[in-house]
Amino acid sequence: MRAKELFINQIPQIEIDGSKNVPTTIFYPSAGKVLIGSSALAAAEHQHEIIRDFKIDLGFLDPNPVSKAARRTFITTTGERKSAASITSDFLREVLRHTNKWLVGHGVAKGTCILLAEPLKIPKHENWLANYRGNLKRILDRKFAGEGFENIDLKNIDFMPEPFAVFQYYRYGIRHPFVAQKMKYVALVIDFGGGTFDSCIIETTNEGDIKKGGKNSEPLGARSEPVGGFYVNQVVAEELFRKCVISKSEKTQFKRGLDLYAKWRENEIDLETIQDELANFVVSFHDVVYAIEDPKLSLCKSITNWALDASLHLSVSIPLPKDPFSIGGESIHAPFSASELRDVFIRRVWEQKLRNAIRETIHSGKEKVGGASISVVLLSGGSANIRWLEKLLNRDFADELSDAEILWLPDFQEVVARGLAAECTRRFHTRDRGGDFSSVTYNQLCLILDPDKTGHTVGRFKPRTEGLPNPETPGVLLPSATCLKNFIEKPMRWRVQLKRPPRRQLDYYFLRSSFDPSDYSSLQNLEETALHTPQDCSFDAHFQVELLVKEDGTAIPKFVYKTGRTEAEAVAKDGKPFYLDMTYSQTSVEPKAYIGLDFGTSNTSISFVDESSVQYFEKRSGEREISELVTTLPYPLAVTLQSYLGQFDPSKLPDHAREFIEAALAMAAYVTYTEYCLKKGQSQSKLFEGFAQRSAGPLWRLLQNCLMHLGKNGEISAPYQELMTAKLYKLIDEAIDFIAQQKHHKVSDTALDLLQPVKILANISQKVFTRNAFGFFEYVKRQKFTASRQYTGLFRHACSSSTPFFKVSEYEGPEDFPEAEPFLLNVDSGTALSLQPLIFWERCPRHPDIDPGHCYIYDIQPDKDEGRFSFKAAGFPCTCEVSVTNQYSDLAKTLLAYKEADLKINSVQVGSIRDVSEE
């Protein structure tokens, strides 16, 4: 497998407005205009103008356009009412418009197929998955036909259950050692996202791949609940309303309002049909549910001890309406602590929802694996970053998971998206098999019959339709979806021997991987389980069962009491249609490329893979040793390194190599210059005066000058001295000269391979920032009741290529640090060195969803007489102007002083720093 090893950091993700992780939000600023993602968040004046959380509603809508079923509508800022299907159509249209533009710009030929992640079915809503899939197919296949997405094959859409993508990420994405070996695994997969909670068990072969060669896999005990991050927000909102807003006299009204809110969310009522006060409550409560999201995330990424009995002191402020039964009134700010969040999560989310779902999965799944122990637990989804989940699994399932390892990741947010990308890549590696999950059933389809209440018959079903598999297990109709694709819209028929003919009635139970009709969680035909026998009916020796499965998953059963020479002579009766929980590959032609579309409740991402890019990445095997640095280098370096690694177009590779080299040289030059200012004596110098702009040549000269003046006094920048050795100096100097000529088109893009300079700068940078952490302080507060000034807070390590950053250290010391100022922290010496004014963090009005904002790096002084300086954001196309006349005047004045002479600066003694990221 080594020749086909996947490099998860190399799989490109398509950006929308500079973001690879696009908020699933939409805003209608005017009639006919649509904004999505960061643009929607930036343009909306008020939170309630932004439409979110419409994905789950998609499954509550009948995809039939002539259906008369009630549809909950969202009111846009233009006053127009739109259904979840209409909003999804608008959102995905924008997503595919950006995607198609990206494909055209990268020279991708037509025929790119879509692999779309989907949650499992939702209990008590038997048609949810069929509706969800039917709506998406109708939108993509029919509604978007002829809209100019010429590079995307909208008729070739595959659905991949999200838990399967999770397995692919761990095994073939990051190749985690606990699931990457050639050995048998029994994996409990838990995907806890923004809108749903999915769990299932996957049993592998002795080689570590999915059973039955991987193609026709059977994830066992599949369970799904409409519980995710937004449900957590909802129960937090309920607790806050009870604590801070609702009076004793309003308790009944409050309970009624919550009931109506639940019905409104499930499309059962329209706000116009209920009292004004209660309608106002639903709107107010809904606004608070979304207002809670950012404070909740702030708490979660700042908790340093996830023990269930840990003492937690962090708190946030959440705005609540003073009177939730009216609109536009006063607001109050309610404190909400991390300990309260833990209590709500355990009591309302874990104990009432998640624990039972996991218990059912383990109980049902382990029966199918012969009682084998679970060997590994795979977590995913942004809500899995609420790390009490792991602690509660260990506490409440100690026996069931006694032999299991719960795999730890620094961030579970993008697991499904990257798992989709891994599966897309696998499909080109396994052309003969069509990938590992190109055709799956969630579980076996079983059928139990009971004639005239005489007892359940677990009979052996013999296929009467050519091409159907012959199940060896009694009671099983379909052991997998091997041939289901060939029988869509075509009847399948079996015969079975009953104890006696059903003279009065026939009870029948279609079950998901179960032979127990009382197992309602597995029962498929919930609405009808009995048929009365036709009058004066005669019977054949063998009873026959027919099943017609439609493309949207609807299954229509027929029971044949007697066959005849013609259809008119036969005696048969149809059962009530039900939804059959299965998925299968629809792709009939060999695709040229895939986009993996993770349409999530809270975030959406798009990855791209084609066969030529897979082959190209394999040829770039020399990059493997630096690919791991994407997760450890400072963000400005990691994000450009990932962009370089993910570039599959050889003609664009030099540009991405140049961007990384310039980013690495900028960090090197600015860090070394800052240390020079720290170590310089009384003599005057003007090293920064001659620095023109942040491009490779000037940065290289500034770095050399600073290293020369520092000499042996450099500590932080000491590893950069390696660049001055003859061999490395020659390589970097040649690269700098090539970049200068290449930018002005004076030399061919392929005249020099920049891989070696990239590797040199990446590895030397790693040496620098391993000992000196790049990041910022936050939540720094003075301790109560202390005689001396003592402060506590967090230092957040700004490493890896994506935000938010999860690695933190606890700080305790005598200094009060400002929020989000970039520092280099040396734990060994206990010192912190500020990198302002050359680097700073700031929120961006175009990307308000990015936490903690953009990392802006000094670029150029456009006009030396104006006191203006331009900064570029790392990883985004955004810029920021720093001027003596705007809010950044102090930064501008310091930069002007640097232009006059190099200033003496001081580091800060920080006191105690304790790494707690993986506790």
pLDDT tens for 309-344 read 999 988 999 999 999 999 888 899 999 999 999 999
| pLDDT band for position 6 (cuts 50, 70, 90) | very low
**SS3 of 795, please?**
strand
Q: How much is the pLDDT for 5?
A: 41
Average confidence score pLDDT of the chain:
86
Encode pLDDT of 286-300 as tens digits: 889 988 988 998 899
pTM of the model: 0.74
Q: How much is the pLDDT for 507?
A: 94
Q: Is 766's pLDDT higher than 80?
A: yes
Average pLDDT of span 55-60: 84
- In sign, the C-alpha dihedral spanning 695, 700, 703, 709 is negative
Q: How much is the pLDDT for 213?
A: 40
Average pLDDT of span 617-627: 66
Q: How much is the pLDDT for 590?
A: 62
User: Of the segments 79-88, 123-132, 329-338, 667-676, which one has the largest average pLDDT value?
Assistant: 667-676
Q: Is 615's pLDDT higher than 90?
A: no
| pLDDT band for position 439 (cuts 50, 70, 90) | very low
- From 532-536, 608-612, 812-816, the region with the lowest mean pLDDT: 608-612
- From 76-80, 100-104, 585-589, 651-655, the region with the lowest mean pLDDT: 585-589
- H/E element holding 424? helix 415-429
Q: How much is the pLDDT for 345?
A: 98
Q: How much is the pLDDT for 806?
A: 84
Q: Are strands 831-834 and 839-842 parallel, antiparallel or unpaired?
A: unpaired
Q: Is 904's pLDDT higher than 50?
A: yes
Q: How much is the pLDDT for 222?
A: 82
| pLDDT band for position 486 (cuts 50, 70, 90) | confident
Q: Write the CB contacts of 875 (distance below 8 Å, at least 6 apart in sequence).
A: 18, 635, 636, 639, 640, 643, 801, 854, 855
Q: Write the CB contacts of 367 (distance below 8 Å, at least 6 apart in sequence).
A: none
* The total number of residues written for the chain in this structure: 919
| pLDDT band for position 672 (cuts 50, 70, 90) | very high
Average pLDDT of span 4-22: 72
> Please, are residues 751 and 738 in contact by the beta-carbon 8 Å criterion?
yes
Q: How much is the pLDDT for 544?
A: 95
Q: How much is the pLDDT for 442?
A: 47
Average pLDDT of span 633-653: 88
| pLDDT band for position 872 (cuts 50, 70, 90) | very high
- H/E element holding 176? none
Q: Is 194's pLDDT higher than 50?
A: yes
Q: Which residue's structure tokens are 């909306």?
A: 44
Q: How much is the pLDDT for 659?
A: 95
